[in-house]
Amino acid sequence: MRQLMFHDDVQFWFETMRLFGHASYGGSDFGEVVATASRITAGDYDSWHDNWLHTAERIATEAAAAPPISARDGFLRASTYYRAAEFFLHGNPDDPRIGYADARSVECFRAAIMRMRDIEPIEIPYEGTVLHGYLYRAPGPGPKPTVGMHNGFDGSCEELHFLGAPAGQERGYHILTFDGPGQPSAIHREKLIFRPDWEHVVGPVLDYLSKVPGVDPARIALLGVSLGGMLAPRAAAFEPRLAAVVAVDGVYDASTALAQFLPIAADELPDRVRAEHDPELDALIAAARAANPTMRWACDHGRYVMGARTDREFLAAYLDYNLKDGVAEQITCPVLVCEAADDMYFAGTGVREAEPRRLHSRLTAPKALLTFTEEEGADAHCHSGAQRLAVARIFDWLDETIS
């Protein structure tokens, strides 16, 4: 999609477009996003934080004094803007602004869903602590198909409200959204860092669902967004209780998103990032950070969510996020692989196939590839800006597959 703002900073533009897209389900308003983004200095993380925090505080204050429906709508948007405020701050995990904005984002989201029907916060037992999420109950009696939803490298379970949770609920699905290790509530509140063996995360989620009245255990699907497009298929390869899996968008090897910014052959990268000392590589990573806004943000955020001390240590950990060595081929349930034609992270190049197609080509289970295009306004990463179109096609596939 054509870059309309922040012309010299693709990462600021994508995060702005992501906020535009949440308007589809009440998570933002177009004018509020334009007005706020217009005040932000490109590449300036403090400017980004200060302006989104100002907008969030103003809207939350108004919502707190509003009648129920207006309060619901205001709290939903304030929740999105608080989450945006702390998005670029993770290079310093001790920054107190992170905790404040995250807590206010969750508080506002919960204030909003208190004014809705059949949505409740939940806690899923996990390795001596809990995973946080939400249960959306479908209307009507009888066992229902159910979709577990999780985000990716940086998105939250609250954001999934704008990426399909209520859309599934109104179509007759129970929806369970959750943050796994490394994702916002888990890293902010429980200090749980990412892990690539996602089946150990999904297992407790399915255990929880097995005790929820009205869930049909034979019709449980899993949907993962962004990096979740690798994590969800990984879980499906080892978790036989899943009836289907959706990758939005499909990822075979997540490391390609960042390796493309380093002038190093792919077969050299693993040994070099894992070496005890490699000053030349450290210099190349520093140069890539300085030259590319995505690399700068990804390394800062990645150190935080992977528990890494250095950018190179983060990149070494990130190499484990793949479906190689026959993992993709182990999946037996039906798989929907979504693809964005101009994905800023995972689109193909002249020498490398797009990640969704790399995944799709290796699947031996029943499979479908769903490509979203520029003509549809849906070619950006995870179809930001075309959420209703994407959600409709995904749930139409689920209707045919598990309902």
- Residues taking part in catalysis: 226
Q: How far apart are CA 174 and CA 136, in angstroms?
A: 6
Q: How many Å apart are CA 150 and CA 45, to the nearest integer?
A: 26
Phi, psi of 210 (to 5 degrees): -65, -20
Do residues 220 and 241 make contact, with C-beta atoms less than 8 angstroms apart?
Answer: yes
Contacts of residue 136, Cβ cutoff 8 Å, sequence gap at least 6: 118, 119, 165, 166, 168, 169, 174, 175, 176, 177
Measure the CA–CA gap between 284 and 309, rounded to whole angstroms: 17
78/29 Cα distance (integer angstroms): 10
Radius of gyration of the chain (CA): 20
**125 pairs with which residues across the strands?**
130
First to last CA, the chain: 34
Q: Which tokens is 105 given?
A: 């984002």
Q: Is the peptide bond before 249 cis (omega within 30 degrees of 0)?
A: yes
Give phi and psi for 86, each to the nearest 5: -95, 5
